[in-house]
Amino acid sequence: MSKTNALFARRQRRTRHALRQAAGGRPRLSVFRSGKHIYAQVIDDKKGATLAAASSLDEDVKGKLKTGADKSAAAEVGKLIAARAIAAGVKEVIFDRGGYMFHGRVAALATAAREGGLSF
């Protein structure tokens, strides 16, 4: 494993450990960003099941976007994941940024999810 990947995995483990301590039984809103797209899912760790998922590849979002790798795409995915989570009966989550900084696309997704009705 390269040094960069090892450091990312270490940040990810550290973040997830802190989340488990603070979660209080809430599902986790997990974010993954690649070079071309952004993905989000609401995960119930007790059941080990995904309750809702959205990405910049979804047909609902893809037609509105120029590219899947910018802040506007992240904001659209944030709105969509909030709508799908609320439809699944989830209103309170804990935000899992993974090993990413809370900045740019990750922050745009989080802000749009909050505006969509999720609380974290």
pLDDT at 5: 93
What kind of architecture, by CATH, is found in domain 3-115?
2-Layer Sandwich (3.30)
Tell me the C-alpha to C-alpha distance, in Å, between residue 88 and each of 2, 44, 63, 104: 39, 12, 24, 27
pLDDT, one tens digit per residue, over 38-87 is 999 999 999 999 999 999 999 989 988 999 999 999 999 999 999 999 99
Question: Hey, where are the domains in the chain?
Answer: 3-115
Residue 97 in this model has a pLDDT that exceeds 90? yes
Nearest residue to 81 (alpha-carbon basis) of 35, 30, 34, 26: 30
Strand order of the sheet with strand 94-96?
A: 49-55, 38-44, 28-33, 94-96
| 16-48 pLDDT tens trace | 999 988 888 899 999 999 999 999 999 999 999
pTM of this prediction? 0.91
Is the confidence at residue 1, as pLDDT, over 80? no
Predicted pLDDT of residue 21: 87
Length of the chain: 120
Mean pLDDT within 97-109: 96
pLDDT at 20: 86
